[in-house]
């Protein structure tokens, strides 16, 4: 209809226009990055709290 590209062609066209990702600088999926950093932070905080409780336990 009206000489538009299909969705698959449009996605391929946009991906072809993007520059290649540099290794170590890009995390491809934003929500996955958020979940990863959140879980990592929760784990570190939980370990620090556990260490503090063990140090001050009678």
What tokens appear for 45 in the block?
């905080």
Q: Is the pLDDT of residue 58 over 90?
A: no
Q: What is the DSSP string of 15-56?
A: HHHSPPPPTTT--S-HHHHHHHHHHHHHHHHHHHHHHHHHHH
29-51 pLDDT tens trace:
778 889 999 999 999 999 999 99
What's the pLDDT score for residue 36? 92
Q: What is the pTM of this model?
A: 0.51
Percentage of residues of the chain with pLDDT beyond 90 = 47
Q: In this structure, is the dihedral angle defined by the CA atoms of residues 40, 43, 47 and 53, taken in order, positive or negative?
A: positive
Q: Cα 23 to chain center, whole Å?
A: 14
């Amino acid at each position: 209809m009206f000489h538009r590209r299909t969705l698959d062609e449009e996605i391929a066209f946009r991906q072809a226009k993007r520059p290649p990702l540099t290794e170590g600088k890009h995390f491809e999926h934003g929500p996955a990055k958020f979940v990863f950093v959140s879980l990592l932070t929760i784990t570190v905080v939980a370990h620090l709290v556990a260490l503090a409780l063990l140090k001050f336990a009678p």
